Amino acid sequence: MSEPAGEAKGSRESLEGRAAALDATDELGKLRAQFVLDDTVYLDGNSLGALPRSVPGRVEDVVRRQWGSLRIRSWDESGWWTAPERIGDRIAPLVGAAPGQIVVGDSTSVNVFKAVVGAVRLAGGGGEGREGAGVRDEILVDATTFPTDGYIAASAARMTGRTLRPVAPEEVPDALSGRTAAVLLNHVDYRTGRLHDLPSLTAAIRAAGAVSVWDLCHSAGALPVGLDEHGVDLAVGCTYKYLNGGPGSPAYLYVRRDHQSRFDSPLPGWNSHADPFGMTPDHVPASGALRGRVGTPDILSMLALEAALEVWDDVSIDAVRTKSLALTDFFLECVEAYVLDGAVEPVTPSAHAERGSQVALRCADAGRVMRRLIEQGVIGDFREPNILRFGFTPLYVGFGDAERAARILSRTL
Q: Clarify whether residues 189 and 125 are in a common domain.
A: yes
Last residue of a domain, one of 270, 294, 312: 312
Note whether residue 37 is domain-resident: no
pTM (2 decimals)? 0.94
Last residue of a domain, one of 312, 345, 367: 312
Note whether residue 53 is domain-resident: no
Q: Clarify whether residues 273 and 134 are in a common domain.
A: yes
Q: Clarify whether residues 240 and 286 are in a common domain.
A: yes
Q: Which of 139, 117, 83, 81 is nearest to 277 (CA)?
A: 81
Residue numbers of the domain that contains 166: 58-312
Q: Clarify whether residues 208 and 324 are in a common domain.
A: no
Note whether residue 41 is domain-resident: no
Note whether residue 40 is domain-resident: no
Distance separating alpha carbons of residues 134 and 120, to the nearest angstrom: 12
Note whether residue 48 is domain-resident: no
Note whether residue 43 is domain-resident: no
- Total number of domains in the chain: 2
Q: Clarify whether residues 336 and 302 are in a common domain.
A: no
Q: Clarify whether residues 251 and 327 are in a common domain.
A: no
Q: Clarify whether residues 260 and 319 are in a common domain.
A: no
In tens digits, the chain (413 residues) has pLDDT values of: 334 444 444 578 899 999 999 999 999 999 999 999 999 999 999 999 999 999 999 999 999 999 999 999 999 999 999 999 999 999 999 999 999 999 999 999 999 999 999 999 999 853 344 544 468 999 999 999 999 999 999 999 999 999 999 999 999 999 999 999 999 999 999 999 999 999 999 999 999 999 999 999 999 999 999 999 999 999 999 999 999 999 999 999 999 999 999 999 999 999 999 999 999 999 999 999 999 999 999 999 999 999 999 999 999 999 999 999 999 999 999 999 999 889 999 999 999 999 999 999 999 999 999 999 999 999 999 999 999 999 999 999 999 999 999 999 999 99
Q: Clarify whether residues 208 and 134 are in a common domain.
A: yes
Predicted pLDDT at 10: 55
Edge to edge, the sheet with strand 163-167 lists 102-104, 252-255, 234-237, 211-215, 180-186, 138-142, 163-167
Note whether residue 382 is domain-resident: yes
Q: Clarify whether residues 218 and 104 are in a common domain.
A: yes
Distance separating alpha carbons of residues 157 and 405, to the nearest angstrom: 43
Q: Clarify whether residues 18 and 112 are in a common domain.
A: no
404-407 own/partner pairs: CB under 8 Å, 24+ apart: 404/41, 404/378, 405/41, 405/43, 405/331, 405/334, 405/373, 405/378, 405/380, 406/331, 406/334, 406/335, 406/337, 406/338, 406/339, 407/7, 407/12, 407/334, 407/338
Note whether residue 363 is domain-resident: yes
Q: Clarify whether residues 299 and 354 are in a common domain.
A: no
> Which residues are known catalytic residues?
146, 215, 240-241, 389
Q: Residue 340's domain is classified under what CATH number? A: 3.90.1150.10
Q: Clarify whether residues 117 and 16 are in a common domain.
A: no
Q: Residue 115's domain is classified under what CATH number? A: 3.40.640.10
Last residue of a domain, one of 273, 291, 312: 312
